Structure 1
């Protein structure tokens, strides 16, 4: 792709053909052949990235960033790199503001979540920090800063994940040579540590102390597996078909992924609660959950729990139960676990609850007490079966030492059974002349 030209006066040049088809020359002056070949190699890598529109590899990007101004200017002149004098170095605050503004494909709730790590970055580095001066060591210090603020491990894990996304975008735009957060991680507390299976008995205790509105909210989350508040408060009466035992669930969370709704069965546990709610619903009611819950929860910044969590904790306390982590999500998680225990296929259950099998396994499915009980019962049956086999084997071994003149009962029973099973039965056979013939064969029944 590139070649070296040695001039008579001892200077060297690198020749190559640019993507526009024009021949370009980089005059290196009097340098060693070894150094010239090293520059030629980098020129070929830069040229390849230009032709294929791919980002530079990390090593080449670092080489470009460390270039002395004279050589950098020569490479910029032939169009292989950006002119440092013309290129404006991006500032952290400005970049983050522009990044959020450009992401028109995300929901307001996502922007709200992003605001937290963005605030942390601006506070730690300063808004006027030049983006390409942030190193991997700086990113590691930022992680330690988050740990020092007392944030939960899961929160730190998520915020570092967002930082990788931000700086990964900066790398794609060639504002930085490499992502300083690429290898900076923090172990999050496992989802399993925050999972709780809400039993049917506890659910019924909750429903007994609920008013009519909260009976529907709890039932939709626990027996319908709906996300709360977004899906529960978005459910419309026109989407509930009680005669067919089906309903349409509108999902604001997944609509950007082409899955704005899904159809699910109205499960037997949910049917009477929806039927009773429909009977007392005012004329012209649009949403299943009335009142002003939806207006308060569906804010310009996205769906909020408003006072749902606080009110639900009061209901849990009235039912004599102890609040569990992730109040509403564990209701949904319990339902998905329960449906799989009822022998529904995982792809069917995932479709009903609006997630994927991999997400269901990682974030929702739980090991319940019933799983242990079934395993214990199965172990007892296996143990009893093994004991019976051992007993029969011992009996047969003792029978084998008797006198050979006495016929073995096992052999006699086997012969009798074989003789009984082998019966003479008429069998229809095909007559190859075109008719049907009947012949008698000795065969075992069922063959």
Structure 2
């Protein structure tokens, strides 16, 4: 399509060709999906205003937005080192709430001290995305971070995080904190902390219903965007079998090395030592005479 193509001149074939053009540029699937969705919205509005009759992008697949290919399991030892390195108590609490509380990027900024139920060890989170509240356990590391911050809070303070106001972006500063601690920045730094938290809760054996309630998403969203197979899953799955199969692998490796380094005669003789005495030892198959049968009548 040319830059001055009229809306009514765009056909469904042109729309399909546009998606193929985006794919040929090797753009990320999220980028392709976003551009197709924007085109759908544009032409849908044109239909509503009567400029065109049909939406040529109606049947063009936008593709669902998925973050699976950018999931990073941020291990506790890494995030603990980052928390230890940062000097600001509020940032310590923010990062802890992301990684060990599963909060969204903006949710720590909405917390108030009366949201903390110290007696029952629970924390009420203002779910700004779904516009409702959810209650999560006051997990040990979250409780510790909030306790330290509470001890240093000004008397009469209501908000837990006072350094930033709700709506302020935290991503850029968090990237600086990661680099300052000596680590490389992983993809989607904040979201992957939340995803790692949900993975940990599932691996700990909590019911998916409870985990999704604490994190604030649905099982469908969790399985699509958050719950991932990690290296630890493979290690646990192979743990028992590794011990049982170790001797088998060693035996195969030994036989392979013998076949590579030893002579054919040595290898054959070594095999003969396993034949019982009554078997008569190794026999050259060329010297064996077989009785004449219907199956070997050819001379």
- TM-score, normalised to structure 2, is 0.72
Corresponding position of 1:221? 98
User: What SS does the corresponding residue of 1:288 show, helix, strand or coil?
Assistant: coil
Q: Of Structure 1 and Structure 2, which has the larger fraction of its residues in helix? A: 2
Matches within 5 A, 1:152-231: 152-168=28-44, 176-185=52-61, 191-210=67-86, 211-228=88-105, 230-231=106-107
State the Cα distance separating 1:284 from its structure 2 match.
Answer: 2.5
2:239 equivalent in structure 1: 377
Partner of 2:160: 288
Question: Quick one: distance in 1 between partners of 2:38 and 2:119?
Answer: 46
Query: How far apart in 1 are the matches of 2:183 and 2:111?
Result: 28
* Maintained 8 Å contact 1:124/1:142: no
Deviation at 1:281, TM superposition (A): 1.1
Query: 1:111-142: CA deviations, max 9, x gaps?
Result: xxxxxxxxxxxx9568xx4x544322332454
Contact 1:171–1:178 under 8 Å retained in 2 = yes
Contact 2:102 2:197 in 1 (8 A): yes
Q: Deviations over 1:311-336 (max 9, x none)?
A: 21222122221100000000000000
After superposition, the Cα gap between the structure-2 partners of 1:159 and 1:204, relative to the gap in structure 1 and judged at 3 Å, is: same
Runs of 4+ in structure 1 off by over 6 angstroms are 147-150, 172-175
SS in 2 for 1:360: helix
Which has the bigger relative contact order, CA under 8 A and spacing at least 6? 2
**Displacement of 1:289:** 1.1
CA RMSD of aligned residues (A): 3.0
Distance 1:175 1:240, change over 3 A: farther
Q: What SS class does the counterpart of residue 101 from structure 2 fall into?
A: coil
Residues 187-231 of structure 1: CA deviation (Å, up to 9, x unaligned): 689522211001110111011111211101100100000000x21
The aligned counterpart of 2:292 is none
Which segments of 5 or more consecutive residues in structure 1 lack a partner in the other structure? 1-122, 299-303, 385-447
Q: Which residue in 2 is equivalent to 1:235?
A: 111
Question: In structure 2, how many angstroms separate the alpha carbons of the residues matched to 1:222 and 1:156?
Answer: 30
- Which residue pairs with 2:189 in the alignment? 327
CA distance in 1, matches of 2:65, 2:123: 36
Separation (CA, whole Å) in 2 of partners of 1:383 and 1:151: 44
Distance 2:24 2:90 in 1: 43
Matched, 1:354 2:212: no
Deviation for aligned residue 1:165: 4.3
Summarize the alignment of residues 399-410 of structure 1 with structure 2, pairs less than 5 Å apart.
none
Is 2:148 the counterpart of 1:276?
yes
Query: 1 or 2, which has the higher strand percentage?
Result: 1
Looking at CA atoms only, which structure, 1 or 2, has the larger radius of gyration? 1
Q: Indicate how the Cα distance of structure 1 residues 149 and 268 shifts in structure 2: closer, same or farther if over 3 A, else same.
A: same
- Give the match for residue 174 of structure 2: 312
Q: Mean alpha-carbon deviation: is it higher for 356-365 or for 191-200?
A: 191-200
The answer to whether the 8 A contact 1:139-1:180 is kept is yes
Structure 1 contact 194–326 (Cα < 8 Å) conserved: yes
1:262 deviates by 0.8
Q: Is the 8 A contact 1:242 1:275 kept in 2?
A: no
Q: Distance in 2 between matches of 1:189 and 1:382?
A: 42
> What's the offset of the Cα at 1:146?
5.6
Return the offset for 1:346. Answer: 1.0
Call closer, same or farther: CA 1:368–1:176 in 2, change over 3 Å: same
1:332 and 1:144 map into 2 onto residues whose CA distance is 34
Deviation at 1:175? 6.2
Cα offset, 1:156, TM superposition: 2.2
Query: Does the 8 Å contact 2:66/2:225 carry over to 1?
Result: no
Partners of 1:342 and 1:361 lie apart in 2 by: 16
Residue 178 of structure 1 deviates from its aligned partner by: 3.0
